[in-house]
Amino acid sequence: MIKKNSWVQITKTILKPEERAVNLPEPTKKVPMMMWVKGFLLEAGELNSLVKIRTLTGRIESGLLVCENPSYMHTYGEFVPELLEIDRICKTTLFGGDFYE
Amino acid sequence: MNNSYEAVMARKNQIMKSSVGINYDKYEGDYLNFDFEEMMSDCGFSLREVRQIQNQFGVGNTPLKECKNITDLARKVSKPGYGARIFIKDEALNDSGSFKARRASMACYQAKKLGFKGVIAATSGNYGAAVASQAAKHGLKCIIVQECFDSNGIGQPEIIEKARACEAYGAEVVQLSVGPELFYKFLLLLEETKYFNASLYTPYGVMGIESLGAELVEDCLKQNGKVPDMVVCTNAGGGNLTGTARGILKTTKEKIQIVGASVNLKGLHMANDIDFNKKSFTTGHTGFGIPFMINPDRSDVPRSAGRPLRYIDRYVTVNQGEVFFMTETLAVLEGIERGPAGNTSLAAAFSLAKELKQDQIIIVQETEYTSAGKHHQAQLAFARKNGINIYFGNPEDEIPGKSIVFPKTVDLIQAKDLDLDVIRKKYIRGQLLKTNKLTKKDIEFLIIETNTNTDYILSEIKKHNVELEE
């Protein structure tokens, strides 16, 4: 159970596939349009249950409770060694082939 | 109230009118023309006033920096005597980290002046953080609506970072899955909150960039005693190029070539749920650049203030691999680490420098901040995870959505020209689909819109079944 007033993220279907705009590419046409939004939980609720939140601008939105204290987990990703080869190409072109010696 | 997709879209004009405080009908003429200049000047800010306002709110006066090592690198692969000096306007140093702060500053200033309680912008780009930052300064509430995830909830790293930045400046972020119906939710939010529509495409969103055009001319004069020969603008919705060119024209009478540059994403559909995470650039690409040039009024306001065909002299594309290559080069040769999307015009400038003589000057008019997600390392890692083949070779062989090709030698960095004549003709054809009658004013309008002449327009009109009114 997640407590009332907790900072949470919810998700909701905005448009079902049949309600979507016409002329969409096939892969988009067959999936719903979804929304994710964050706010303070108005009443205590379970994960994946339908809840209401108050957003930062004071709006009320409802949807399925995704998580409490949604975090920023994006990173620089797994190292891409090709970047070192780019460094070698531009440095040896500019400073000469013996730059790394 | 009926909030079905169709019902909300039918209320579009009414919602728009009350959310931007501009009566667009006022500028409309028969049958195609509208008075762009009157629309711009009615908004009531001179370039001088724009600069004063921006000065107060952490925007503008960014340094113009010469990239000496990148210039020398270009000279290594140029004919003798060629290889223009390359400068960057380091726009990442604006509050919120990009030139978009210039656009947001005027929208938020106007929203506050008109007494709106908050602002809303529909954007997955740097503009979100820019609006959030400027809204914070004015004590305005702020909602940013983003297209962020595919239907599996997988987010584009760059857009996830931009959401974080918006939230860091105190904004509410509404994140959506792929699709043009973002506009539907945007309209619903405008209706619900009665906030100001801080669209990128209102006159405020474009006049804010005029200061950038003015500054780069003045900076260049101060540093080099002459104006630049060429300015390269990354082009998506067209506002950046339009505002920059207008600022240049207001500052100098000397001819400066205005070049638009976009990342080539040919073959990827912008509204496709699967293609969405196959691209490594979420803006500054041909998926926006070309359609917005052919039809500038496809934006979120009735008449866009971004009208690039009026000002553009040349339009080039570069590939994703070339932009990533130049982003890395900017870091390791110049010691300036910046976000990849903002370096689209740098990659183009590197190629264009080879065509100009060594005493000529090219200005790349933007950079953007970089961070987790919004970094070439992050974008490349994400691409590899999505099955994109990353290798060294000839960037010409790159297939957007399938491969990213880094140039295996520096001379292979080669911007490709798009035929502006084809784009102009498509623009005219699109306009003529709206009417079968034209007035003299419409002809004049089409000439200005396409930066052509009477003969050009008349010969195009002949190909269509259109009646000319006296």
> What would the pLDDT profile of B192-251 be if each residue is shown by its tens digit?
999 999 999 999 999 999 999 999 999 999 999 999 999 999 999 999 999 999 999 999
What's the rounded Cα separation, in Å, for the pair B261 and B293? 12
Q: Do A74 and B392 touch (CB under 8 A)?
A: no
In a domain, residue A84? The reply is no
Q: What is the average pLDDT across B366-383?
A: 97
What does the mean pLDDT of chain B come to?
96
User: Tokens standing for B170?
Assistant: 């105190």
> In Å, how far is A101's CA from the nearest CA of chain B?
17
Give the pLDDT of residue B215.
Answer: 98
Identity of the residue in B118, B181, B382 whose CB atom sits nearest the CB atom of A21: B181
Q: Is the pLDDT of residue B311 over 80?
A: yes
Pick from B6, B8, B151, B327 the residue to mutate for testing the A interface (most A CBs within 10 Å). B151
pLDDT bucket at B299, cuts 50 / 70 / 90: confident
The sheet with strand B314-318 has its strands ordered as B64-66, B85-89, B361-364, B230-234, B257-263, B314-318, B416-418
Nearest partner of B431 among B293, B339, B326, judged by Cα: B293
In a domain, residue A1? The reply is no
Give the pLDDT of residue B397.
Answer: 98
In a domain, residue A91? The reply is no
Q: Is the pLDDT of residue B13 over 90?
A: no
Give the pLDDT of residue B271.
Answer: 87
Q: What is the average pLDDT across B343-354?
A: 98
Q: Is the pLDDT of residue A3 over 80?
A: yes
- For B405-470, give the DSSP string: EEESSGGG---EEE-HHHHHHHHHHHHHTT-SEE-HHHHHHHHHHHT--HHHHHHHHHTS--EEP-
Q: Do A37 and B180 touch (CB under 8 A)?
A: no
User: Tokens standing for B119?
Assistant: 């602002």
Q: Do A77 and B382 touch (CB under 8 A)?
A: yes
> In Å, how far is B278's CA from the nearest CA of chain A?
14
Q: Do A77 and B157 touch (CB under 8 A)?
A: yes
Nearest partner of B318 among B241, B232, B427, B420, judged by Cα: B232
What's the rounded Cα separation, in Å, for the pair B395 and B284? 18
Question: Do B382 and B249 form a contact (C-beta atoms < 8 A)?
Answer: no
CB contacts < 8 A (A, B): 163
Q: What is the average pLDDT across B288-310?
A: 94
What's the rounded Cα separation, in Å, for the pair B180 and B346? 30
Give the pLDDT of residue A97.
Answer: 82
pLDDT bucket at B469, cuts 50 / 70 / 90: confident
In a domain, residue A63? The reply is yes
Identity of the residue in B175, B325, B377 whose CB atom sits nearest the CB atom of A37: B175
What's the rounded Cα separation, in Å, for the pair B193 and B382? 36
Q: Is the pLDDT of residue A101 over 80?
A: no
Tens of pLDDT, residue by residue over B101-111, are 999 999 999 99
User: Tokens standing for B27?
Assistant: 């500028």
Tell me the chain A residues in contact with residue B151 when contact means C-beta distances shorter than 8 Å: 28, 31-32, 34
What is the share, in percent, of chain B residues with pLDDT greater than 90? 90
Identity of the residue in B4, B275, B325 whose CB atom sits nearest the CB atom of A19: B4
Q: Is the pLDDT of residue B470 over 80?
A: no
pLDDT bucket at B465, cuts 50 / 70 / 90: confident
In a domain, residue A24? The reply is yes
Q: Do A21 and B5 touch (CB under 8 A)?
A: yes
Give the pLDDT of residue B312.
Answer: 98
Kindly state whether A28 is in contact with chain B, defined as any CB-CB distance less than 8 angstroms.
Answer: yes
Q: What is the average pLDDT across B444-461?
A: 96
Q: Rounded to the nearest 10 degrees, how much is the dihedral formed by the CA atoms of B324, B328, B334, B335?
A: 130
> In Å, how far is A90's CA from the nearest CA of chain B?
7
Burial class (CB in 10 A: 0-12, 13-18, 19+), B38: exposed
Give the pLDDT of residue B318.
Answer: 98
Considering only alpha carbons, which residue of chain B is nearest residue A32?
B151
> In Å, how far is B373's CA from the nearest CA of chain A?
6
User: Tokens standing for B134?
Assistant: 């400027």
Q: Is the pLDDT of residue B21 over 90?
A: no
Looking at the structure of chain A, the number of domains it has is: 1
Give the pLDDT of residue B300.
Answer: 81
Tell me the chain B residues in contact with residue A86 when contact means C-beta distances shorter than 8 Å: 324-325, 328-329, 332, 406
In a domain, residue A11? The reply is yes
Tell me the chain B residues in contact with residue A33 when contact means C-beta distances shorter than 8 Å: 176-177, 179, 181
Sign of CA dihedral B287, B293, B296, B298: negative
| First vs last C-alpha separation in chain B | 46
Nearest partner of B128 among B157, B161, B153, judged by Cα: B161
Tens of pLDDT, residue by residue over B170-204, are 999 999 999 999 999 999 999 999 999 999 999 99
What's the rounded Cα separation, in Å, for the pair B277 and B457? 40
In a domain, residue A98? The reply is no
Give the pLDDT of residue A45.
Answer: 97
What's the rounded Cα separation, in Å, for the pair B53 and B159? 29
Q: Is the pLDDT of residue B345 over 90?
A: yes
Q: Is the pLDDT of residue B123 over 90?
A: yes
- Judged by average pLDDT, the poorest of B278-287, B372-381, B424-433 is B278-287
What range defines the domain where residue A61 resides?
7-74
Tell me the chain B residues in contact with residue A24 when contact means C-beta distances shorter than 8 Å: 179-180, 271
Coarse DSSP helix, strand, coil percentages of chain B, rounded to the nearest 5 percent = 50, 15, 35
Which runs of consecutive H residues, i.e. helices, occur in B302-439?
Answer: 320-334, 344-353, 376-385, 420-432
Pick from A82, A85, A100 the residue to mutate for testing the B interface (most B CBs within 10 Å). A82
Give the pLDDT of residue B1.
Answer: 86
Identity of the residue in A35, A57, A77 whose CB atom sits nearest the CB atom of B172: A57
pTM of the predicted structure, to 2 decimals = 0.96
Considering only alpha carbons, which residue of chain A is nearest residue B154?
A74
In a domain, residue A99? The reply is no
| Parallel, antiparallel or unpaired: strands B85-89 and B172-177 | unpaired
Q: Do B328 and A86 touch (CB under 8 A)?
A: yes
Q: What is the average pLDDT across B86-111?
A: 98
Q: Is the pLDDT of residue A70 over 80?
A: yes
Give the pLDDT of residue B207.
Answer: 96
Question: Do B171 and A55 form a contact (C-beta atoms < 8 A)?
Answer: no
CA angle, corner B244, sides to B68 and B179, nearest 5? 105
Q: What is the largest CA-CA distance in chain A?
A: 67
Please give the ipTM for the structure prediction. 0.96
Give the pLDDT of residue B366.
Answer: 97
What SS3 state is found at A81? coil
